[in-house]
Amino acid sequence: MRFTSIVVLTGAGVSAESGIDTFRTKDGLWSKIDYRDVATPEGYAANPVLVHEFYNMRRRKIATVEPNDAHRALARLERGFRGDFLLVTQNVDDLHERAGSKKLIHMHGEHRKALCARCGSRSPWEGDMSVETACPSCGAVGHMRPDIVWFGEMPYQMDRIYDALRLSDLFISIGTSGNVYPAAQFVQEAGRNGAHTIELNLEPSETFDDFDEAIHGPAGKVVPEYVDWLLKL
Ligand code: BJW
């Protein structure tokens, strides 16, 4: 293996073949609902009932789907690679961990966690949530929200992610349109520090020109093929 440190970034496209909606494709979530209503702090303040309904529906959905070959291939890469490895996902589903990934950061939060806006505690969460839900830590009612990073909020563990990007010699971006920052800038950060950068996506992303190399096709096909090739180097 000629690489010593790999960072993988995944987006909604890696879970598409498992049956999870993407955001910006023709039939994606943002074609059905205005993101300002459900994915901003202002939308939540204006209509928390709508926001809870939106996330309850999506939390129920992830319990009905399974990881696909792309998730499994990334877990295989983590197990088989001897250097430093970090998987950064923008996805809020749990399909990477269910496929076996362990060195993983959910930079945009997780469906299966709740955040108390009053005391700041995070709790594992399985069922529905409402404006009447009490915080398991402080007991306050009416302050529980999905532990999801909305527009205008700071994504999680950015220091750890940028440290890994700066040390990486291979950056792999999978199933993301490159529309949302700061994730859309990771390719530049890794490339500036000398990493080889590759995009694996159904189609050229918004940041396609920033990559050294690209393979376009469905993640369930191109990711296992690329991982097989990497592990044979
Ligand atoms: C397949 C496939 C198959 C389909 N196989 N591929 C400039 C600089 C910095 C920030 C900004 C900036 N300009 C504006 C901002 C602010 C804003 C932003 O980016 N706005 C843009 C709209 C312009 N960003 C923020 O507010 C973020 N916070 C922030 O910036 O804090 C300050 C900060 C600055 C600098 C450093 C550090 C901090 C927070 C962003 C929060 C995003 N939240 C969401 C919703 C919550 C999750 C949820 O409800 O589920 O996260 S938005 C949504 O987009 C979701 C996703 O994680 C995210 C990315 O989408 P993704 O994954 O790329 O999905 P799609 O649908 O766009 O693309 C899917 C791709 O897959 C497509 O290309 C398909 O072709 C492909 N595909 N099937 C392979 N089978």
Ligand 1 neighbours, Cβ below 6 Å, are: 11-13, 16-17, 22-25, 28, 39, 90, 92, 108, 148-155, 158, 175-177, 179-182, 201-203, 205, 218-219
Q: How far is the CA of 151 from the centre of ligand 1 (A)?
A: 9
pLDDT single digits (tens) 188-230: 999 999 999 999 999 999 999 999 999 999 999 999 999 999 9
Residue type, 162: Y
pLDDT of residue 24: 95
DSSP bridge partners of 116: 144
pLDDT digits (tens, 9 = 90+) for 76-96: 999 999 999 999 999 999 999
Q: What does the alpha-carbon distance between residue 90 and residue 29 come to, in Å, rounded to a whole number? A: 15
With the C-alpha atoms ordered 116, 122, 128, 134, is the resulting torsion angle positive or negative? negative
* Mean pLDDT, the chain, whole residue set: 97
Proportion of the chain above pLDDT 90, given as a percent: 98
For 147-184, what is each residue's pLDDT tens digit?
999 999 999 999 999 999 999 999 999 999 999 999 99
Residue 138: what pLDDT?
97
State the pTM of this model.
0.97
Query: Would the pLDDT of 1 be above 60?
Result: no
